[in-house]
Chains A and B, each alone.
Chain A
Amino acid sequence: MPTKSFRKSFGFKVFRSFALSILVVAIVLSALLVYYQNSMVKKDLYKEGTMLADMLAYSIRTWVFAENKDMLKDAVQGVMGQKNVVAVVVYNADRQVLIIEKKQSADKKDPFGNDPAAAGKMRMEQAGIIPKTAEREGTIGFLSPVVLETYKNMEEAIYFEESPKQSVQHVIGYVEVVLDKGVLRTEMRSILIRNAVATLLFLLAGSVAIYIAVRRLMRPLTNLAASVRSLGRGETVAQVPVESMDEIGRLATDFNTMSDNLKKREAEKELLEEKLRYAQKMEAVGTLARGIAHDFNNILATLRGSIYLIDKKLPAHDELRQYTRQVHGSIARAQNLIRGLLTFSRTQRINFRPADLGGIIRRLQPMLTNMAGEGVHLKVSLPEGPVMAMSDSVQLEQILMNLCANGRDAMPDGGVLSISVEMVTVGSEAGRQYPPAPGRYAVMSVRDTGPGMDEKTRERIFEPYFTTKDVGKGTGLGLAIVYGIVKQHRGWIWVESEKGEGTIFRVYLPLLEKNEEDMENKSR
């Protein structure tokens, strides 16, 4: 992800707020740590100073008592050898300076505000209270009294072991040890540096960890966003991977479902558009055909009349009469073709009525026999009772005529053409690959004993203009018309055929049950 877009991303906001809180935590922690360590260092320095002063006060009490400056100097110089000690002053009980030792770096005035260089008196604090420690810029002073034990009752005590009650502590002097605070500063500096480095490392590590975590958290969201964008642009979108079961995961799942639905909708839309286009085309073709057919019919009628007149004028056994008869036949066929075309293209208003399929067949039987011709034996088997279906009987006749014509055409050398009607219940058996939908049907079957069809032919027979017959013999519209009619009846046509096995067409029409039929009749 490029840095710029990351800057604007939600992930960056999350990262920023996390990083900020880490920063705050780190700063607060390190401040506390610095404060703590600083006070520790200070405490140590104080401890050191107090200890030095106390120790010195204890060890030199004899010399303070004796005011022996040589011995005091020895002892004080021992303390001066210590690292941080810059000055040591010893006072007697009258707060007069007994001895003063200092390093060159020491201030003129000590932290207590005394001016030892003047070798004067130690400054009396308010109300005679002498502070134990005092801080000044650069130095800290520690004051410890030099205490000597004496006895309440001297006479007795010098003879016998004294009880604690009898001893009295006398302050015989003071020791002042002045320490350099520079050590505090250097220590402080190193503490600060250490802490800064630690804080920085902590921040860095924390930021990296958070960055990685945020990136990981954001990746599904980023993917999703990218997918949404490309979906918005109308591109095909692959499934977004669902990585978790949280809100983001659910969002991804929802998105996938949505894009799936969109895809399905798109496909459906395309199909519908295709259908619409086809319907429009058919409409156009129909309109065109109707126009042409009408004019053509008139022309044919004229031609037919003229040929009739010519035929009449010719002598009975004239050679030319065979030609007029041929022309007459051709005109008849042309008129047939036109009729078929008209039928196919007609925007027929279908007139649904409860109709008995058996009755229709029975009515049509003489004509069908005639149509079958001499070589073909027509067999009709019908149930006793009526088999009712909501249908347009004219169209049903058309179906029957077309199927029978095809059967006859398939058996030029003769055969058996069987027509039957039956009631069938279609169940919802599993594994059934084709419609119709489960329910009760009136089924009309037309069977021939012709050569049948190979699979290639069978797949295309319902296409308009598909024919295997010679030019001028078949239009290829017959089965297309049948298909259209069956569809309008919300029925289903089914063909079974194998090469050399004959062919059977089955037309399924929704069966009109007895009570339904009554209701239909009443409503009319």
Chain B
Amino acid sequence: MLNKRDPISVVLLFLLILGLPVSAGAGEIVALKSADIQPYNEAVEGFMKSCRCDVSEIVLNETAGRDVLEKIRDADPEAVFAVGMDALNFSKTIGNVPVVYSMVPNSQLLSVAQQNASGVSMYISPEKFIAAILEVFPHAKKIGLIFDARHSGSFVRDADSACRARGIELVAEKTSRPGDIPTLIDSMRGRIDVFLMVPDVTVINPESVKYLLLFSFRNKVPVFTFSRKYVEMGSAAGLYAAPYDMGLQAGEIVQKIVSEKNGKVIRADARKTVLVINRKIMNKLGIRIRGEVLGRAEYAD
């Protein structure tokens, strides 16, 4: 792909890599953010903390693609830290520079082009979700979810086995059409104790979220979600990967890659998850929050 696009730079880069000794230890690194939003900034902060290197930030959305490319090449970084999916997608056009990502939904779902990138994903395993749900709602017996097999098939399989292991039931509805979602949500009435929102692009859109939350209030079924954003909107609770920590993780990976230089791809999922609770919604739904959870959780209300 590179040689197709810009043969001169390929030659130059080749000469650079072969002919010139590259200094050991972390040199300059460009942090490319998809957008200038709080979680991404936190991730960059964590990254800077752990990699002990010079980091120059570029926001992808604010700068035209060509300029971004030029800037990165001018900086001639040792590695690119891509924050967010867009940034990761863009960084594959840069060329022969190692890319480390974070704030990407799921490492397993990366495309072939992104396969040689290392990094940390926001993926939280179904087991963790089920455990957290039971921590907040200990009496839940049936957990409902809607998913698209194309995106979340394995997640749901794992979730199902995690539920079985704990002796509770997973009520999973499959769909490939966003239009079916309101109907499917309605069909859950009376069949579930908690609804688990799955990070699935087919299922999650503003309309379906609004509809789901409406369903939740009407039927007093709490929604457990994967992002702080939906807890703020009206979900009862959620579990999300802590961005700062993902930054720390990514920093460590960059150090390893730069120092070892063996072309190994290192991938990980977020180490630290955060439980977030909306106390107002919990109150409205008539759910008491246990003391131990109260102490551990973050609040979004």
Contacts and interface: CB of A to CB of B under 8 A. Distances in A.
A236 interface: no
Interface stretch (A44-52, A62-70, A431-439): A62-70
A149 B206 contact: yes
Nearest to B106: A155
A289 B199 CA distance: 160
B217 interface: no
B61 interface: yes
B268 interface: no
Interface in A47-93: 61-63, 65-68, 71
Given A158-B227, A160-B227, A66 B86 contact: no
A154 interface: yes
Contact of A159 (B61, B183, B205, B226): B226
B229 interface: yes
B226 A65 contact: no
Interface in B193-235: 199-201, 204-207, 210-211, 226-227, 229
Contacts of A154: 201, 204-205
A165 B181 contact: no
B179 interface: yes
A246 interface: no
Given A156-B84, A159-B105, A165-B61, A63 B182 contact: yes
A67 B179 contact: yes
A160 B39 contact: yes
Contacts of B206: 148-150
A123 B178 CA distance: 26
Contacts of B180: 66
A161 B201 contact: no
Interface in B172-200: 178-183, 199-200
Given A158-B201, A161-B229, A153 B61 contact: no
A213 B210 CA distance: 75
B122 interface: yes
Interface string A136-161: 00000000000011110111101111
B35 interface: yes
Contacts of B103: 156, 159
Contacts of B204: 154, 158
Interface residues of A, number: 23
A155 B201 contact: yes
Nearest to B109: A155
A62 B227 contact: no
A182 to B, nearest CB: 37
Nearest to A149: B206
Given A156-B34, A159-B122, A160-B39, A62 B207 contact: yes
Nearest to B209: A158
Interface in B212-264: 226-227, 229, 240
B85 interface: yes
A156 B122 CA distance: 11
Contacts of B226: 159
Interface in B31-45: 34-35, 37, 39
A158 B122 CA distance: 12
Given A62-B182, A66-B179, A149-B206, A155 B105 contact: yes
B183 A68 contact: yes
Nearest to A66: B182
Given A155-B201, A156-B85, A161-B37, A65 B227 contact: no
Interface string B142-170: 00000000000000000000000000000
Contact of A62 (B104, B201, B211): B211
A161 B34 CA distance: 13
Nearest to B211: A62
The listed residue with most B CB atoms (<10 A of its CB), out of A63, A65, A155, A158, is A158
Nearest to B214: A62
Interface string B105-146: 100000000000000001000000000000000000000000
The listed residue with most A CB atoms (<10 A of its CB), out of B180, B199, B206, is B206
A165 B61 CA distance: 9
A153 B39 contact: no
A163 interface: yes
A61 B208 CA distance: 11
Contact of B182 (A65, A148, A160): A65
Contacts of B84: 156
Contact of B207 (A148, A156, A159, A165): A148
A63 B186 CA distance: 12
A159 to B, nearest CB: 5
29 contacts: A62-B211, A65-B178, A65-B207, A66-B179, A66-B181, A66-B182, A67-B179, A148-B205, A149-B207, A150-B205, A150-B206, A153-B85, A154-B204, A154-B205, A155-B105, A155-B201, A156-B34, A156-B35, A156-B86, A158-B199, A158-B200, A158-B204, A159-B103, A159-B105, A159-B122, A159-B227, A161-B229, A163-B37, A165-B61
Interface of A: 61-63, 65-68, 71, 148-151, 153-156, 158-161, 163, 165-166
Given A62-B211, A150-B206, A163-B37, 11 more contacts: A61-B207, A62-B182, A62-B210, A65-B207, A149-B206, A153-B86, A154-B205, A155-B105, A155-B199, A156-B103, A158-B201
Q: What are the nearest 7 A-B pairs in CB distance?
A: A154-B201, A66-B182, A158-B204, A159-B227, A156-B85, A155-B105, A155-B85
